Amino acid sequence: MTESLIRVRDLQVVRKGRPICSVAALDIAPGDRLLVQGGNGSGKTTLLRVLAGLERDYDGQCELCAREIRRVYVHQSPCMLRGTVLDNVTMGLRGNGHSRHDLRVHAGRLVEQVGLTSLLDRPARQLSGGEQRRVAIARALAASPELLLLDEPFADLDADGGDAVCCLLASRPEMAVVIAAPGDTPLEKDTRIHRLECSG
Amino acid sequence: MAFFLEGLTDAVQALLRLDPQVYAAAWRSVWVSSLALLLAGSVGVPVGIALARMSGPRARLLVIAIRASMALPTVFIGILCYGLFSRRGPLGPFDLLYTPWAIVIGELLLALPILIALTHGAIAALDPRVAETLTTLGVSRWQRCRTYVSEARRGIVVAVLSAYARCVTELGIAIIVGGNIKGRTRTLATATAMETGMGEFGRGLAMGLLLLLTALAISFAIGFLSREERT
């Protein structure tokens, strides 16, 4: 059996005396595809933030089973940084000894895979919501994560955009992907589903 | 009214004939304040950024103290510096009193809390997703700092120009530790006060007009550089 990347046991996040996310047990292994499903207020975003290490105030366990693992979280409403699409996509790669040409080639490949080739030199904040989401996913993948956490990634994508993102995720079988969504999403066949109930 | 108009005419004439006393004081004000700002900025902006990333009661207390020191009167800073630089003071052996360097250090102390507090405010007001995105992408500390400056650039520009405006127009520090020595430590503000006191209303007004122009130019620069980005 493959060793888990992250093991969650008896997790409970409480805010202002009210539990906002409860998970009894959850294991995520390399290459896993996991859909976290639940209605509004069920704690999907909170769970993803805990898994990403952005939320540290919780009861229970959320253990990394190996050394520090590269985990990238993409917000429900992604944040575009100042600059072009290229600047955004290469944000996690700069300062690692890559030349500008290498960065452009690498970013160009990812942007092409999400169907935005012609927008590489456009200011990222001028793009539509769906385009920004695709840029955010390309930016996350550029950092080569072992665990990718996507918060409602298909929320404002058209059919082509959704297909492009699915193909891109399918091309990284070694990477674990956790997606939070309120209902069904266009995912790969072997995707596990973890349902969250409203804790309040 | 005639006195005022006569003074204004003298002031414009002094400016147009490039009166060496007026422009020497103006040039000294510019380089002393610019150097003070450069030194204060190289410390104040990084400290402001670091402070914005800190949390807890100590950090909050520090921010309150720094904000309070933004309102320090320039004469108070001047007296403090006088105590430090005077012959019997701890920095007396360096012989800094009544030199432009003493004014630079005094203005540095004046600019520092303004830069720290306004940079802190600009970074703290950023969308929290910026910091989270940088954290999750695993960017280096240097890249993170650069991105914060880029995202909060309007607020940081306002901080720099506000500090500059305060330095270039201040009187208390320049007169107490500079001594208003002709050709050595005379700045626009000290020269304006002296010329007016000596009855040279026209020349005093000319220097006052230069100060006003400097303040207006800074104000326009703040307005231009802090305008909203068109998207």
Q: What is the CATH number of the domain that holds A86?
A: 3.40.50.300
Q: Which of A71, A81, A95 sits opposite B133 (nearest CB)?
A: A81
What is the per-residue pLDDT for B231?
Answer: 42
Considering only residues A189 and A92, tell me which one the structure prediction assigns the higher pLDDT: A92
Q: Per-residue pLDDT for chain B (231 aa), expressed as one digit of tens each?
A: 788 888 888 888 888 988 888 899 999 999 999 999 999 999 999 999 999 989 889 999 999 999 999 999 999 999 999 999 999 999 999 999 999 999 999 999 999 999 999 999 999 999 999 999 999 999 988 899 999 999 999 899 889 989 999 999 999 999 999 999 999 999 999 998 998 899 888 888 888 888 888 878 887 887 777 665 544
Query: Would A169 be classed as within a structural domain?
Result: yes
Query: Would A152 be classed as within a structural domain?
Result: yes
Segment A86-100 mean pLDDT: 84
What is the per-residue pLDDT for B228?
Answer: 53
Give how many domains chain A has, as a whole number: 1
Please report where in the chains the tokens 């990394």 appear, as a residue. Answer: A64
Query: Would A65 be classed as within a structural domain?
Result: no
CB contact under 8 A, A73 and B127: no
Helix axes A129-142, B128-137, angle to 10 degrees: 30
Q: Which of A52, A81, A143 sits opposite B130 (nearest CB)?
A: A81
> How many Å apart are CA B170 and CA B172, to the nearest integer?
6
Q: For residue A69, how many other CB atoms are within 10 A of its CB? A: 16
Query: Would A158 be classed as within a structural domain?
Result: yes
In order of start, what are the domains of chain B with their CATH numbers? 2-225 (1.10.3720.10)
CB contact under 8 A, B137 and A140: yes
B86 touches chain A (CB under 8 A): no
Indicate the SS3 state at residue B185: coil
Query: Would A61 be classed as within a structural domain?
Result: no
Minimum distance, in Å, between the CA of residue A138 and any CA atom of chain B: 12
pLDDT band with cut points at 50, 70 and 90 for residue A200: low
Instruction: Give alpha helix (H) positions in chain B.
Output: 2-16, 20-52, 57-69, 74-85, 100-124, 128-137, 141-151, 153-169, 172-173, 188-197, 201-225
The residue type found at B125 is: A
> How many Å apart are CA A48 and CA A41, to the nearest integer?
13
CB contact under 8 A, B143 and A91: yes
- Name the helix (H) or strand (E) containing B63: helix B57-69
> How many Å apart are CA A189 and CA B94, to the nearest integer?
77
Mutate to test the interface with A, among B55, B135, B137, B230 (most CBs of A within 10 A): B137
Task: Give the residues across from A8 on adjacent strands.
Answer: A26, A62
Transcribe A103-138 into DSSP letters: HHHHHHHHHHHTT-GGGTTSBGGGS-HHHHHHHHHH
Q: Which of A79, A83, A91 sits opposite B129 (nearest CB)?
A: A79
Longest dimension (CA), chain B: 69
Q: Would the CA dihedral through A123, A126, A127, A132 be positive or negative?
A: positive
CB contact under 8 A, A54 and B133: no
Query: Would A13 be classed as within a structural domain?
Result: no
Structure tokens at A176: 């674990």
Length of chain B: 231
B145 vs A contacts (CB less than 8 Å): none
Please report where in the chains the tokens 């047990």 appear, as a residue. Answer: A25
Query: Would A9 be classed as within a structural domain?
Result: no
> How many Å apart are CA B10 and CA B48, to the nearest integer?
45
Minimum distance, in Å, between the CA of residue B129 and any CA atom of chain A: 6
Query: Tens digits of per-residue pLDDT, A103-162?
Result: 899 889 999 988 888 899 999 999 999 999 999 999 999 999 999 999 999 888 888 888
Predicted TM-score (pTM) of this structure: 0.84
User: Is residue B91 within 8 Å of B113, Cβ to Cβ?
Assistant: no
CB contact under 8 A, A79 and B130: yes
B135 vs A contacts (CB less than 8 Å): 53-54
Query: Tens digits of per-residue pLDDT, A7-44?
Result: 999 999 999 999 999 999 999 999 999 999 988 888 99
Structure tokens at A100: 């500008």
Q: Would the CA dihedral through B138, B139, B144, B148 be positive or negative?
A: negative
CA distances, A53 to each of A6, A78, A80, B139, B140 (Å): 11, 17, 21, 15, 17
* Residues of the domain holding A124: 31-43+70-195
Across the A:B interface, residue pairs with CB atoms under 8 Å apart total 55
Transcribe B100-144 into DSSP letters: HHHHHHHHHHHHHHHHHHHHHHHHHTS-HHHHHHHHHHT--HHHH
Query: Would A17 be classed as within a structural domain?
Result: no
Segment A157-186 mean pLDDT: 87
A139 vs B contacts (CB less than 8 Å): 137
What is the per-residue pLDDT for A197?
Answer: 79
Mean pLDDT in chain A?
89
CB contact under 8 A, A79 and B147: no
CB contact under 8 A, B137 and A126: no
What is the per-residue pLDDT for B4?
Answer: 84
A71 vs B contacts (CB less than 8 Å): 136
A68 vs B contacts (CB less than 8 Å): none
